[in-house]
Amino acid sequence: MFEKLVDVKNRYDEINQLLMDPTVINDNKRYKDLMKEYKNLTPIVEKFDEYTSAKNNFEEAKEMLDEGGLDPEFKEIVQMQYEEGKETMEKCGEELKILLLPKDEDDDRNVIIEIRGGAGGEEAALFAYNLYRMYNMYADSKGWKTEILSLNETELGGFKEVSFSVEGDSVYSRFKFESGVHRVQRVPDTETQGRIHTSTVTVAVMLEVDDVEIDINPADLKIDTFRSSGAGGQHINKTSSAIRVTHLPTGLVVECQDERSQHKNKDKALKVLRSRLYDIEKAKQDAEVAEARKSQVGTGDRSERIRTYNYPQGRLTDHRIGLTLYRLEQILNGDLDEVIDSLVTVDQAEKLKRAEEN
């Protein structure tokens, strides 16, 4: 491990020099790539420097203690330095093992999130809105940009389906465990007997892709226009600005009616279609390494029930890692870090375990 850390430190120093080279600065792509690598290596190098400093203090103290002849008061100080150095080395060593784990190459990418109401009718649609609001508020807290790509509302303000993009720093690394079935238990406003209903919502987190990654043949597309409909759509109902794109080889259908412009709706629909096609391809690749994925946190399968939101008890339970938190209101208001951090920690522990076994 320490040979690898020395190599990382050398590469870090090399990039530091390159970033000051005028020829590199003027090459936008190379400069951007190097900055990304530099950013990824920084936490490893900083932790390694902390480890090295602790190691030096530990060895210095050990040498003095081994030599002996210290007066009691000074010996106590040296002993403390010895213990602190040893403790810091052990702590940094464990953290470095995690930092050196192979990074998911998609972690820095933007995402498109699709939320669909499942079992439960109008109540499921209302909870789909709650989840959209939760993710949107979480994105705001991180300084990320969100944009609705497609929306199908209900008369009561719920979402039958919503697709939206999230752009920012390391977005996928924080959202990648959200795919699956989210279950809600609460008393609907329309329930006169006060009975708790159970509804479900499906969340799919897909990587945002561009034309280069997914090449769509225009001949494979059937594009229809129609008048926008649904709650709040009256101002655009007069013209056929809504777009329905059908990908003939797969049968995938994407509708977009959020914009007044037919051209903008088409662009948004194609953006969602590209991500869906990429998601299908990625699922095939994941299936090929399914054995390795069994020990990871969830499979990303949309049919897997991953979480329950229990309103009467103010409780959230993530079934994949056995996490239960009694702070549902804060979580639904976008305070998701504790949940996501727990998922990331368990995933890292599983990866570390496999790395040590291999």
Q: What is the CATH number of the domain that holds 279?
A: 3.30.70.1660
Rounded Cα distance between 253 and 133, Å, is 25
Count of residues making up the chain: 358
Instruction: Mark whether 37 and 127 lie in a shared domain.
Output: no
pLDDT, residue 294, reads 47
Residue-wise pLDDT for 268-279, tens only, equals 888 888 888 888
Instruction: Mark whether 15 and 142 lie in a shared domain.
Output: no
Cα of first residue to Cα of last residue in the chain, in angstroms, is 14
Handedness of CA 74, 80, 82, 88 (dihedral sign): negative
pLDDT, residue 358, reads 66
Residue-wise pLDDT for 324-345, tens only, equals 999 999 999 999 999 999 999 8
Instruction: Mark whether 177 and 257 lie in a shared domain.
Output: yes
Within 10 angstroms of residue 333's Cβ, the number of other Cβ atoms is 14
Instruction: Mark whether 115 and 51 lie in a shared domain.
Output: no
The stretch 190-206 carries a mean pLDDT of 84
pLDDT, residue 234, reads 44
Residue-wise pLDDT for 289-333, tens only, equals 554 444 445 544 556 789 999 999 999 999 999 999 999 999 999
Residue-wise pLDDT for 70-93, tens only, equals 888 899 999 999 999 999 999 998
- Averaged pLDDT of the chain: 85
pLDDT, residue 235, reads 43
Q: Is there a contact between 189 and 157 (Cβ–Cβ < 8 Å)?
A: no
pLDDT, residue 293, reads 44
Residue-wise pLDDT for 89-117, tens only, equals 999 988 888 888 878 788 888 999 999 99
The stretch 183-197 carries a mean pLDDT of 81
b/e sequence 46-57, b meaning 16+ C-beta within 10 Å: ebbebbeebbeb
pLDDT, residue 302, reads 55
The stretch 186-192 carries a mean pLDDT of 76
In a domain, 163, yes or no: yes
DSSP state at residue 30: H
* 349 pLDDT higher than 90: no
Task: For 65-126, give the DSSP string.
Answer: HHH----HHHHHHHHHHHHHHHHHHHHHHHHHHHHTSPPPTTTTS-EEEEEEE-TTTHHHHH
pLDDT, residue 266, reads 85
Instruction: Mark whether 93 and 177 lie in a shared domain.
Output: no
Domain housing 79: 2-99
In a domain, 133, yes or no: yes
Number of domains in the chain: 2
pLDDT level of residue 237 (50, 70, 90 thresholds): very low
* 205 pLDDT higher than 70: yes
Instruction: Mark whether 204 and 272 lie in a shared domain.
Output: yes
Which residue bears the tokens 């777009």?
Answer: 243
